[in-house]
Chain A
Amino acid sequence: MTLSNYEAAQTEPANVPLTLESGKPVGLLRRGVEVFAENKLALAGVAVIVVFLLFCFIGPLFYHTDQIHTNLLNVTMRPGGAHPLGTDGSGYDQLGRLMVGGQTSLEVGIAAAVLATFFGTLWGAISGYLGGWIDAIMMRIVDGLLAIPALFLLLFLATIVTTSKTILIVVIALVSWLGTARLVRGESLSLRVREYVQAVKVMGGGGTRAVLRHIAPNAVGTIMVNATFQVADAILTVAALGYLGLSIPPPATDWGGMLSTGLQYAAVGYWWLIYPPGIAIVLVVVAFNFIGDAMRDAFEVRLQRR
């Protein structure tokens, strides 16, 4: 289910230096900007995410709705009038709910991805740099955790703890750092034997210096690409948990939870309870995947030359 894990499995570190035709090295930032400017899909992705961030976080400042108290006189009203997207089964305004739910989905998704990337990077970098049997043990632990499907582990953990935003973030991060760890380990294994890292050692530089000043900056591209895919995956995971009823308790909600309640009305055709949250999830996840894809092109010259 996770694209980031496949990335980890198939990526071979690009062994080509970042140079233009003239042979002059370019900064990662400039190269990134160039590729983004050319790649319309990535630009569209950024636009979609900006729009959704504004909609979810700034929108409620202008569009005031009561998302705390249920209103049983106003349940499942068709779109129109005071409720542009109608109301749901508890009488909440659907458009306002889309904003509040989006806040949870985006916050949890992004925070979980950042946490997972951070921990995975640390684990992978240490494992790859130390090598030997420590590396072997650390990577077998990753393999063991990867073998258990994330959703099974998540559901299990969710039965033990009561869910809140923070718990959701930690639990999702707990099952998603594995792909990053594998990827970064591969990267640091290959960077460790590169000439410039060897040169640091010859000149008397210590291990910390080699990792922080030379290995980490060169792995940044890979890590950022992975982090972007992680966000997409995490948002999907939040939605899946919401659907399975393991999201944060009401009156708070997320897009997955909204979909899950809306689906009870699938047979009677209350489309406004189903399509808006569903399409919101798809749009945001597609956007993050487009950006990740473009960033991979930006950082990997090997793919770019095609």
Chain B
Amino acid sequence: MTGYLIRRVLQSIVVLFLVTVIVFILLHLLPGGPARAILGTRATPAQIALFNKQNGYDLPWPAQYGVWINQLIRGNFGFSIKLNQSVASLIANRLPKTLVLTVLSTVIAVIVAVPLGVLQAARRNKPSDYVLTGASFIFYSTPTFFLGLLLIIWFAIGLGWFPPEAPQGSTFLQILEDPKGLVLPVATLTLVTVALFSRYARSSIMDNLVEDYVRTARAKGAGEGRVMFKHVLRNALIPIATLLGLSLPGIFSGTLITESVFNYPGMGLLFWNSTQDQDYPVLLGFTLIVGVATVVGSLLADIAYAVLDPRVRYVLT
């Protein structure tokens, strides 16, 4: 167990290092180099030279990377000239709002998807299974922005139940003050995620239903309900932990789209606006933060997996 954890943590550190290398490469892919991209097209050669000197861009590549990483560790993610704000403060302001959206929708998705998976596995190859499978395929195959807009057209414009725009508070507490505005964005993200999770839950439960311990439980006279909820579900749910870790990048991508559909003032919307403005410090800082969040998230998911499932511990050590 400890050996596995140590190995897994070391692996994550390597991946984190690679994430920073990838972002560092992106930084140098910028048109005209980082100085030109950050100072703009009207910067004079003298300004560019000064910028390069100040930020260490005149050093050889490995040294540049060192300078850059050193800045990152001190919390200096760069400065957005276009927004006149440091990227770190932008992240501090936007990340909690995005987390409201992602955490809410992921939690709801798990709560909805697991019973659906149970139902489908219990009634496999019966009409209700087919209907739910078909529905999850359709939701999964619908572009997130199309789904969001359909919800706006039907429930905001048509029925007028919810506002078409997300709450516009400047802090994340202000966002929570307007729960009605959160309904449609959260619903959009939830529907897409439920489609994936319920399919996964279904196949995970069905994998477990053919195991020997299920036969043992039945032989002891346990009813189908008891077999499902006391025996199978506990085993089948553990892989969901890994799935959660793995879905993080997808959820972040989905959040980006959802935020731009509902004008939700989170990281995704700012990221998209920054691509329009070519505000590279913001783009790089956010890419890095999202990458780090994903690595840490998958690590936590894997640790949870190992803690929850003794068999994993046994196999891996």
Contacts and interface: CB of A to CB of B under 8 A. Distances in A.
B30 A160 contact: yes
B286 interface: yes
Interface in A237-294: 239-240, 243-246, 256, 259-260, 263, 266-267, 274, 278, 281-282, 285-286, 289-290
A149 B248 CA distance: 8
B18 interface: yes
A259 B290 CA distance: 28
Contacts of B257: 151, 240, 243-244
Given A144-B15, A144-B19, A266 B153 contact: yes
A282 B138 contact: yes
Contacts of A259: 143, 145-146, 149
B196 interface: yes
B142 A282 contact: yes
B316 interface: no
Interface string A145-185: 11111111101101110000000000000000000000000
A160 B31 contact: yes
Nearest to B150: A278
B22 A266 contact: no
Given A144-B19, A244-B272, A149 B294 contact: yes
Interface stretch (A3-11, A62-70, A213-221): A3-11
A306 interface: yes
A150 B249 contact: yes
A236 interface: yes
Interface residues on A, range: 35 or more
Contacts of B142: 278, 281-282, 285
Contacts of A267: 157
Give the interface SS of chain A, mostly helix, strand, loop or mixed.
Answer: helix
Contacts of A266: 149, 152-153, 157
Nearest to A143: B15
Nearest to B139: A282
A278 B11 CA distance: 42
Contact of B146 (A144, A156, A246, A282): A282
A244 B275 CA distance: 10
Interface residues on B, range: 35 or more
Nearest to A155: B275
B43 interface: no
A140 B15 contact: yes
Given A152-B253, A285-B141, A244 B294 contact: no
B260 interface: yes
Given A148-B249, A149-B253, A156-B26, A278 B271 contact: no
A87 B142 CA distance: 24
B140 A3 contact: yes
A2 B286 CA distance: 21
A159 B15 contact: no
A286 B141 contact: yes
Contacts of B14: 140
Nearest to A288: B141
Nearest to A158: B275
Contacts of A156: 26, 275, 283, 287
Given A147-B295, A152-B271, A152-B287, A236 B157 contact: no
Contacts of A6: 196, 200, 243, 246-247
A140 B11 CA distance: 8
Contact of A1 (B26, B124, B254): B254
Contact of B253 (A1, A9, A281): A1
Nearest to B158: A269
Contact of B246 (A5, A141, A240): A5
B143 A281 contact: yes
Interface in B239-283: 239, 242-243, 246-250, 252-254, 256-257, 260, 271-272, 275-276, 278, 283
Contacts of A245: 276
Contact of B200 (A10, A263, A285, A286): A10
Contacts of A151: 252-253, 256-257
A266 B151 CA distance: 11
9 contacts: A140-B14, A147-B292, A148-B22, A156-B287, A160-B30, A240-B145, A259-B149, A267-B157, A278-B150
Interface of A: 1-3, 5-6, 9-10, 140-141, 143-153, 155-156, 158-160, 232, 236, 239-240, 243-246, 256, 259-260, 263, 266-267, 274, 278, 281-282, 285-286, 289-290, 306
Given A150-B253, A243-B257, A285-B141, 4 more contacts: A140-B11, A147-B15, A148-B249, A149-B250
